[in-house]
């Protein structure tokens, strides 16, 4: 069975066929994203362990997928045309729960008009001889991605250093910082990982450490950017001179 957390965003909405229909969209209940998350949150938590995620991380990933899927669905011209005053809004089961207001209909028409104008304003490509390479349109580098272009993944950061800093003992372990060209990377190493670095410093004349972890909070300080590295995993290698 395919995991919900690894599906493309558009596939998430297929969990609710009575509500979402690309070929014949109906106006959705206001706040329906909350309803979707309420039903999919237990699924995300159940699948968290098999993807190496905590329950909170799985929920955040599910929220991102749902947000992308709904954003793509609700900004399609076909859906915007369905938002006319007095049209019925439905919930996840397809039941009518409210009507589209005149204000909501006017906003949808404005979005539709803006989208149409943007399409018309695009410069038309000069005619050229057909070729195999021209079978697929080439978009500019700054073209926005759609839901079909996106899959879920896991962002990790690896930093390397060859000197042992003076660590700050804290409750969770040994806290150190590594200054790079672009940011100060701050991490708290478990005691065993710190001992591994200390042993390399004592026994090897030259070594390099590679620390990999999840990208955490990023803040700006008067001295520059500070990046938090979460759940760091340490590898240490001896650097040997060339023979």
pLDDT of residue 20: 92
Token pair belonging to 10: 């558009």
**Euclidean distance between CA atoms 234 and 141, whole angstroms:** 37
pLDDT of residue 45: 80
pLDDT of residue 1: 43
pLDDT of residue 211: 94
- Give the 3-state secondary structure of residue 4: helix
Tens of each residue's pLDDT in the chain, 243 residues: 456 667 777 778 888 999 999 899 999 999 999 999 898 888 878 877 777 778 788 788 888 888 888 988 988 899 999 999 999 999 999 999 999 998 888 888 888 887 666 555 556 565 555 555 544 567 787 777 777 788 877 778 899 999 999 999 999 999 999 998 878 899 999 999 999 999 999 999 999 999 999 888 877 766 778 888 999 999 999 988 665
**Euclidean distance between CA atoms 41 and 56, whole angstroms:** 10
pLDDT of residue 132: 54
Phi-psi region of 83 (alpha: psi -120 to 50; beta: other; left: phi over 0): beta
Tally Cβ neighbours within 10 Å of residue 61: 21
- Can you identify the CATH homologous superfamily of domain 4-120? ProQ/FinO domain (1.10.1710.10)
**Euclidean distance between CA atoms 90 and 96, whole angstroms:** 4
Domain boundaries, the chain: 4-120, 156-238
């Amino acid at each position: 069975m395919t995991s919900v957390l690894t599906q493309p965003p558009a596939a998430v909405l297929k969990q609710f066929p009575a509500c979402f229909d690309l070929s014949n969209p109906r106006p959705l209940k206001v706040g329906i994203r909350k309803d979707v998350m309420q039903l999919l949150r237990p699924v995300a938590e159940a699948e968290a362990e098999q993807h190496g995620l905590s329950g909170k991380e799985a929920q955040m990933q599910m929220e991102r997928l749902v947000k992308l899927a709904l954003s793509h669905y609700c900004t399609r011209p076909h859906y915007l045309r369905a938002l006319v005053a007095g049209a019925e809004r439905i919930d996840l089961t397809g039941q009518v729960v409210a009507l589209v207001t005149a204000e909501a209909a006017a906003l949808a028409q404005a979005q539709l008009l803006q989208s149409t104008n943007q399409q018309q304003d695009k410069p038309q490509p000069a005619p050229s001889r057909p070729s195999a390479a021209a079978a697929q349109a080439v978009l500019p580098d700054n073209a926005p991605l759609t839901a079909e272009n996106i899959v879920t993944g896991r962002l990790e950061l690896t930093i390397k250093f060859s000197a042992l800093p003076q660590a700050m003992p804290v409750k969770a372990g040994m806290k150190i910082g590594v200054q790079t060209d672009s940011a100060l990377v701050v991490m708290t190493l478990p005691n065993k990982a710190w001992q591994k670095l200390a042993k390399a410093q004592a026994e090897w004349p030259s070594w390099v450490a590679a620390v990999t972890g999840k990208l955490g909070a990023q803040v700006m300080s008067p001295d520059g950017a500070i990046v938090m590295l979460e759940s760091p995993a340490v590898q240490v290698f001896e650097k040997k001179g060339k023979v």
